Amino acid sequence: MRRSHSFWLIGGAILVTSAAAAFSSAPSAVFVRGEDISATSSPALAVKERVTHLKTPVPVRAVYMTQCVVGTPSMRESLVKLIENTELNAVVIDIKDYAGKLAFIPKNPALKDFVSDKCGANDMEEFVRTLHEKNIYVIGRITVFQDPYYTKIHPELAVKRLSDKNATWKDKKGLAFIDVSAKPFWDHIVKISRESYEIGFDELNYDYIRFPSDGNMKDIYYSWSEGLTKGDALEQFYKYLSEELKPTGVVISADLFGYVTVHLDDLGIGQLLEKALPYFDYIDPMVYPSHYNSGFAGLVNVNSDPYKVVYTSMKESVRRTVATTTSISSLAFERIGTSTPAIYAKPSYPASKMRPWLQSFDYPVPYTPEMVRAQIKANEDAGLDSYLFWDPANKYTSLRQVLAPNP
């Protein structure tokens, strides 16, 4: 799972070790897909089934649901009741997981071989419809470039080993990645995205939109991205994704490392906040306090002050989001003058474009209700009110004790 890691920043590179209010408006239906079929059709098929999408609530307050939980009615109902009975109003559901498999059976024949044989929900479309009936906003999470299944089918698109350019490179957990610039794979992601939106997902959330971060980084080779900076390679993907999907009306969001909020380099993985801002409706930094290194925000132990970690990260992300100039280039920005270092003009995006992932899982210490509450307060003090909560076990033990009941 993506979140069960701890990240340390050393010399600009990331090292990874494994480890385990009231709403100002509620969601409302704004789009209905469907059209009349010719009068010559069977009366039973006179009108296509209507697929409704909900407007993004303000604020968004969501919890994450794994593929296995969504495929187990008794388990998923527990989370649905949590959302119904509290100030939560949204859920993030796995569509494509870390293995590259889909959580539901797609209608597109090009995707039929990608259905998970372990977890998932055959009734996904019906489940999404049920969530909509309960006025719950549905976000679908798509893991992108970490994809061991697709790399087996198309090894020519995979990240390679420098010592053997015919061999697929793998990270510390034995997982393979698609080269970010492998454009044939981009179309695969677009197909999954369109299919997901067409069965009712209101928003699509993209994770692992990055280059690899751990493993033998000295023996890695990017045949498709050769000649490009990692940041530029990723921005080309962002741009393509946006251009292909925005005409459908779908809302799209991007998961970025928490350090992206405070660093101006690409962290060795290609992620730069300003390069993502033009292409996504929301940016979701993963600001789990446990994932920061000792010394961040002046803290010897980052787990001792979750408030300070989240506040420092999100306050700076807001400043950079609303700023009108930046030192980071983008295909969407124009350079101002010829000064060195270069300065670029950028749109001032609304602060609400920032929407953090917060921690409600026990690592490396038990995460208490006070620690969860501190993160929410820090986000609010940074000027934000939307959030997503992550617990890979989907228990949310401490979060449950913090949430206000649904009025």
* DSSP tag of 317: H
- 24 in any annotated domain: yes
Give the tens place of pLDDT for each residue, 101-142.
Answer: 999 999 999 999 999 988 889 899 999 999 999 999 999 999
Phi and psi torsions of 328, nearest 5°: -100, 125
Q: What is the CATH number of the domain that holds 351?
A: 3.20.20.80
Phi and psi torsions of 86, nearest 5°: -130, -175
Tell which wins on pLDDT, 336 or 50. Answer: 336
Comparing CA positions, the residue from 239, 244, 172 lying closest to residue 212 is 172
Give the tens place of pLDDT for each residue, 198-237.
Answer: 999 999 999 999 999 999 999 999 999 999 999 999 999 9
Pairing between strand 160-161 and 282-286?
A: unpaired
Give the tens place of pLDDT for each residue, 337-366.
Answer: 999 999 999 999 999 999 999 999 999 999
The pLDDT value given to residue 15 = 40
| Peptide bond connecting 155 to the previous residue in cis, omega within 30 degrees of 0 | no
The pLDDT value given to residue 30 = 44
Whether this prediction's pTM lies above 0.85 is answered by yes
Look up the domain containing 170 and give its range.
5-34+46-402
> To the nearest whole percent, how much of the chain has pLDDT over 90?
85
Secondary element (H or E) of residue 93 = strand 90-96
The pLDDT value given to residue 49 = 58
- 40 in any annotated domain: no
- 39 in any annotated domain: no
Domain total in the chain: 1
Whole-angstrom Cα distance, residue 220 to residue 214? Answer: 11
The pLDDT value given to residue 273 = 98
- Please check whether residue 328 is in contact with residue 357, taking contact to mean a CB–CB distance below 8 angstroms: no
Residue 307, pLDDT above cutoff 80 = yes
Cβ neighbours around 147 below 10 Å, total? 28
The pLDDT value given to residue 406 = 85
The pLDDT value given to residue 407 = 74
Whole-angstrom Cα distance, residue 356 to residue 313? Answer: 9
Q: How confident is the model at residue 253 (pLDDT cuts 50, 70, 90)?
A: very high
Tokens representing 309 are 């970690």
